């Protein structure tokens, strides 16, 4: 809770109720929203690392009832193959406009046709004020790398809506790779949004990055 109160605030994603844009994309901590039945979205971002291993990712997703099906595709400098991560997210309780939202999700990452990692987690989202301008997202699950035992996956993020366009987001993720922090700003224009995010891995001062993201729902 001290972390929630100390990091920068952030913002609701469903302003004016466009098709859902999850706080995933270039962010690490997921919310409990899904894209919605019969709707689709694409989240894409470029990442520039202080270590020089830049990369690009895109995640198309579509909704079937309360279930969101997605496929993350990414390529990172220094890796000769394309990463592919099919994912499924099932919304157990819709909290997009009121109350607490709950969802469960799982994904598997493949490289050169071989499974290299997998994740399974539950996510919950809720507002801390009546207007739901200040939202909290919590993730809890398991993160596993091929050939090793599972590692706890824990994430906390906050979102604060400055107005109907600008939002601030900040988060921390505990995973098998260590502790990662990110914070940024989102501009929402209709059914599209743009992210500018800065992050770091706490294990080393050399691991810093910037993300430039673009998300669109249709």
Output the pLDDT for position 96: 93
pLDDT at residue 3, as a whole number: 33
Query: How does pLDDT run across 171-191, given as a tens digit for each residue?
Result: 999 998 789 999 999 999 999
Spans of the chain, pLDDT less than 70: 1-24, 52-53, 78-80, 203-206
Q: What CATH number did the domain enclosing 202 receive?
A: 2.40.160.40
Domain count, the chain: 1
Tens of pLDDT along 200-213? 987 655 588 999 99
Q: Are 207 and 198 in contact (CB under 8 A)?
A: no
The pLDDT value given to residue 77: 75
The predicted structure's pLDDT at residue 4? 31
* Secondary structure string (H, E, C) spanning the chain: CHHHHHCCCECCCCCCCCCCCCCCCCCCCCCCCCCCECCEEEEEEEEEECCCCCEEEEEEEEEECCEEEEEEEEEECCCCCCEEEEEEEEEEECCCCCCCEEEEEEEEEEECCEEEEEEEEEEEEEECCCCCCEEEEEEEEEEEECCCCCEEEEEEEEEEECCCCEEEEEEEEEECCEEEEEEEEEEEECCEEEEEEEEEECCCCCCEEEEEEEEEEC
Residue 7's pLDDT is what? 32
The residue range of the domain holding 107 is: 2-217
Residue 27: its pLDDT value, please?
92
């Amino acid at each position: 809770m001290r972390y929630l109160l100390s990091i920068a605030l952030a913002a609701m994603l469903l302003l004016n109720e466009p098709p859902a844009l999850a706080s995933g994309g270039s962010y690490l901590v997921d919310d409990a929203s899904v894209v919605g039945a019969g709707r689709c979205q694409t989240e894409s971002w470029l990442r520039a690392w202080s270590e020089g291993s830049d990369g690009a990712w895109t995640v198309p997703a579509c909704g079937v009832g309360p279930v969101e099906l997605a496929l993350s595709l990414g390529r990172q400098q220094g890796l000769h193959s394309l990463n592919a991560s099919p994912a499924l997210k099932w919304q157990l309780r819709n909290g997009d406009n009121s109350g607490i939202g709950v969802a469960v999700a799982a994904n598997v990452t493949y490289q050169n046709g071989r499974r290299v990692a997998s994740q399974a987690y539950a996510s919950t989202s809720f507002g801390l004020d009546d207007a739901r301008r200040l939202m909290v997202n919590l993730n809890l699950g398991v993160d596993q790398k091929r050939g090793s035992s599972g590692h706890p996956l824990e994430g906390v993020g906050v979102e604060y809506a400055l107005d109907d366009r600008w939002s601030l987001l900040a988060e921390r993720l505990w995973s098998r790779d260590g502790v990662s922090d990110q914070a940024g700003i989102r501009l929402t224009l209709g059914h599209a949004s743009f992210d500018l995010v800065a992050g770091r891995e706490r294990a080393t001062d050399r691991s810093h990055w910037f993300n430039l993201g673009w998300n669109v729902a249709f």
